[in-house]
């Protein structure tokens, strides 16, 4: 069996547009300031997508889902992650698991952590875990300027015997 690992990183700034909804791990946070970006700006889903694609050697999210594509404006990033996982399998790799860390001070993630994990796990078809990390007020993230998502993914491939 061949095992590969991939990493993903994403950052989006908070938006001043009141119509933007904060979406993290496929969960909407009502009443919270949303993140700016072309899609729904779900940094958890984006970091998981990049980690999976990197592990399988399939490039990155920006190449597979260009932010210049008008069809992807406001896209549900959970569906982009689902499509990426499907392409990973089509390339002969099986997602093992993904571990994702979200870096932000507000809002608190604990109340919806299980929900985020369930949505991401459903999209990938393999276990996805989510951890929230506060910055304790340090730097741009501590000033609430944006949210960072980090992820590590493992994929495996069973080599056929000759
Ligand atoms: Mg992104």
126-136 residue pLDDT tens: 999 999 999 99
pLDDT for residue 42: 98
Torsion sign, CA atoms 43, 47, 48, 53:
positive
What is the CA(42)–ligand 1 centre distance, in A?
7
Mean pLDDT of the chain: 95
What is the CA(62)–ligand 1 centre distance, in A?
8
What is the CA(38)–ligand 1 centre distance, in A?
8
Q: Does residue 60 surpass a pLDDT of 70?
A: yes
Domain-wise residue ranges, the chain: 2-157
Q: What are the residues facing 132 on neighbouring strands?
A: 102
Tokens of 153: 């993914």
Q: Does residue 160 surpass a pLDDT of 90?
A: no
> Quick one: what percent of the chain has pLDDT higher than 90?
88
pLDDT for residue 97: 98
What does the pLDDT average to over 39-63?
97
What CATH topology corresponds to 2-157?
60s Ribosomal Protein L30; Chain: A; (3.30.1330)
What is the CA(46)–ligand 1 centre distance, in A?
5
Cα 160 to Cα 158: distance, rounded to the nearest angstrom = 6
159/114: higher pLDDT: 114
Structure letter (DSSP) for residue 14: B
Tokens of 44: 């958890």
Give the per-residue SS3 of 124-141: HCCCEEEEEECCCCCHHH
pLDDT for residue 71: 87
What does the pLDDT average to over 11-29?
96
* Sole residue written with tokens 């080599």: 159
What is the CA(64)–ligand 1 centre distance, in A?
12
Q: Classify 125 in phi/psi space as left (phi over 0), alpha (psi -120 to 50) or beta.
A: left
How large is the angle between the packed helices 43-56 and 113-124, nearest 10 degrees? Answer: 30
What is the CA(161)–ligand 1 centre distance, in A?
39
Phi and psi, residue 80, nearest 5°: -65, -40
Cα 28 to Cα 96: distance, rounded to the nearest angstrom = 26
What is the CA(156)–ligand 1 centre distance, in A?
25
Q: Does residue 162 surpass a pLDDT of 70?
A: no
What is the CA(4)–ligand 1 centre distance, in A?
23
pLDDT for residue 72: 87
pTM above the 0.75 mark? yes
The dihedral formed by the CA atoms of 112, 116, 117 and 122, expressed in degrees to the nearest 10: 140
């Amino acid at each position: 069996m061949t095992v590969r690992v991939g990493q993903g990183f994403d950052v989006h700034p908070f938006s001043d547009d009141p119509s933007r909804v904060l979406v993290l791990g496929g969960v909407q946070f009502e009443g919270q300031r949303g993140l700016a970006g072309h899609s729904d700006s779900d940094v958890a889903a984006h970091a998981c997508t990049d980690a999976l694609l990197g592990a399988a050697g399939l490039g990155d999210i920006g190449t597979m889902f260009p932010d210049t594509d008008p069809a992807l404006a406001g896209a549900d990033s959970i569906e982009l992650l689902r499509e990426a996982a499907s392409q990973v399998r089509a390339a002969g790799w099986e997602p093992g698991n993904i571990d994702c860390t979200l870096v932000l001070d507000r809002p608190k993630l604990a109340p919806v952590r299980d929900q985020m994990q369930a949505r991401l796990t459903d999209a990938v078809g393999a276990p996805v875990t989510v951890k929230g990390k506060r910055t304790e007020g340090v730097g741009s993230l501590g000033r609430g300027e944006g949210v960072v998502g980090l992820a590590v993914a493992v994929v495996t491939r069973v080599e056929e015997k000759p």
